[in-house]
Structure 1
Amino acid sequence: MPFLVLSILIQVAFVIHVLKTGRNTTWIWILVMLPLAGLIAYLILEILPEMNNSRNGQKARRKVQKLMNPNQDINQAAQNLAKSSSIKNYIKMAEECLEKGLNQEAKDLYQKSLQGPFKDDPQILFGLARCLFLLKEFNNCKETLDFLIDKSPEFKDQDAHLLYARTLDALQMIAEAEHEYETLYSYYSGPAAGLYYAIFLKRLQQGDKAMNILQRILKMQMKQTVFTAASIRIFLSRLKQNCQDKA
């Protein structure tokens, strides 16, 4: 019983950490649906790499700058767009809106950018598709990505491919989504495709296959992550603080 209570407290603390740090909310599903594997994955993929990377100070400096002036980039983009209604400035403003979660505004800006020589631009279409997905306009998102593939078959982007798989998943196109996830998992650099694939398989009641994928991801990430006593102490300190904040 004490172990069960402790595991639930740790699970809650990790969910709080996801929300506080603004990480992808998909992690909440992973932590809830796959408690043990999800906790390990979040620790290895998110918390420890952040601690290790903080040694060079670059990430910390960027975070401090964002905290001190969180609207600097979007304000600068707005000023540039006011001075010149160029496609470049429209795209930059759209990117900043997307970063801020202003998905409808970003969608409108990307749509305005699709004109003249840029009417079939794959990067703009990809940006628009991201907005449509976040706005839950899944049919329009698929149509946009299909149009992109038709107009720019040479365009290869693993994140666009992942978005396509997730869109098919959202549209309940199970067979098509499974094919895309499996293809992505074979070449995608990074853990994201594998994590989404595992969640997909879990929903299909293929828990063993999902767990095998998660275990492979963890092994790969453990090879790339430097574990130190200091990083573990920092993690435990943060976990304790999160539990205290919850209390």
Structure 2
Amino acid sequence: MPVALVVLLLDISLIYHASRTGRLQPWAFIILMVPMIGALAYIVVELVPEWLGSHDVQKARKRVANKLDPEKYYRELSDRVAITDTIANRAALAEECVAIGRYDEAEQHYDHILSLPMGHEPLFALGKAKAQFARRRPADALATLDALQKSWPDYNSAEAHLLYARALQEAGRTDEAIEEYQALLDYAPGSEAKVRYGMLLKLVGRIAEAKIVFTELLIQMKRAPRHVRKAQAEWIAIAEKQIAG
């Protein structure tokens, strides 16, 4: 049997499989436009993980699939909300909207959730503030976080506190941002708050103080377990670069 015919039959079989399993987009286009390579990609990304069923393989598959079709999961969640509009489904969709840059839509979803009796929760207000901050609207994010604190005075979140400090900085309220970062240093997990605090100090000309912050962080990370250093690798690299620069 000619090789071209084998490739054609393989492509047709894989496109049929993709259509039956809800994967027609974007795989049909990829398989047809990139003969053989597209078919191999479909087998590696979609079929092999199904055969193996490994969690790590599934994660790798998701990463590759997201690169090929960044809005695939968004469409799945949108369909889920259209069928069953629960708070959990809409919250998942709102979170995915933030992940792929659909910030206005994310804010709309969070507003809808917060308007519901069972949805009036601080976690969703924080989600709304994240969307506003990502949309480069720090003043709106600050207003949302201030309202969150007023509605839920006992709610403590290092993530919300860090976002508040960053929003103050973006809004040009530098002195207040520095105070918030300083308050964060005592309890925020990870290295992000310290690195951002040091970067802000450096930005306003407090170079010596910034260097102390970065140096102390790097010493602390050298003494930390390997898994901690691995988890904080991005911020360690930034701190090293800030000292070198």
Q: Do the two structures share a fold, i.e. TM-score over 0.5?
A: yes
Aligned-pair identity in percent equals 26
> Are 1:116 and 2:113 an aligned pair?
no
Equivalent residue of 2:190, what SS? Answer: coil
Closer/same/farther in 2, CA of residues 71 and 115 from structure 1, 3 Å limit: same
Supply the distance in 2 between the matched residues of 1:105 and 1:183 (Cα, whole angstroms): 33
Task: Give per-residue Cα distances to partners, 1:184-215, cap 9 Å, x unaligned.
Answer: 01221100000110111011111111111111
Task: Give per-residue Cα distances to partners, 1:201-234, cap 9 Å, x unaligned.
Answer: 011111111111111221222233549xxx9xxx
Equivalent residue of 1:186, what SS? Answer: coil
2:202 corresponds to = 202
1:65 corresponds to = 62
Is contact 2:113-2:120 (8 Å) kept? no
Task: Give per-residue Cα distances to partners, 1:67-116, cap 9 Å, x unaligned.
Answer: 13554532331221011122222111001111112212211111121113
Structure 1: gaps of 5 or more residues:
1-56, 232-247
2:126 corresponds to = 126
Is contact 1:120-1:148 (8 Å) kept? no
Supply the distance in 2 between the matched residues of 1:199 and 1:222 (Cα, whole angstroms): 20
> Are 1:99 and 2:99 an aligned pair?
yes
2:220 corresponds to = 220
Is contact 1:198-1:210 (8 Å) kept? yes
Please state how far the C-alpha of 1:60 moved relative to its aligned partner: 7.1
2:193 corresponds to = 193
- Calculate the TM-score normalised by the size of structure 1: 0.64
AA at the equivalent of 1:195: V
Is contact 2:202-2:210 (8 Å) kept? yes
Alignment of 1:1-247 (within 5 A): 62-68=59-65, 70-118=70-118, 120-224=120-224, 226=226
AA at the equivalent of 1:177: A
Task: Flag the structure with more relative contact order, 1 or 2, with Cα contacts below 8 A and sequence separation at least 6.
Answer: 1
Give the 4+ runs in structure 1 shifted more than 4 A. 57-61, 69-72
AA at the equivalent of 1:90: R
2:33 corresponds to = none
Closer/same/farther in 2, CA of residues 202 and 91 from structure 1, 3 Å limit: same
Supply the distance in 1 between the matched residues of 2:202 and 2:172 (Cα, whole angstroms): 15
Structure 2: gaps of 5 or more residues:
1-53, 231-245
Task: Give per-residue Cα distances to partners, 1:120-147, cap 9 Å, x unaligned.
Answer: 4101100000010011111111110000
Supply the distance in 1 between the matched residues of 2:211 and 2:132 (Cα, whole angstroms): 31
Supply the distance in 2 between the matched residues of 1:61 and 1:127 (Cα, whole angstroms): 27
Supply the distance in 1 between the matched residues of 2:61 and 2:219 (Cα, whole angstroms): 32
Is contact 1:110-1:124 (8 Å) kept? yes
AA at the equivalent of 1:67: V
Please state how far the C-alpha of 1:59 moved relative to its aligned partner: 6.3
Closer/same/farther in 2, CA of residues 79 and 171 from structure 1, 3 Å limit: same
Closer/same/farther in 2, CA of residues 60 and 170 from structure 1, 3 Å limit: farther
Equivalent residue of 2:210, what SS? Answer: helix
Closer/same/farther in 2, CA of residues 100 and 188 from structure 1, 3 Å limit: same
Is contact 1:120-1:151 (8 Å) kept? no
Choose 1 or 2 for highest CA Rg: 2
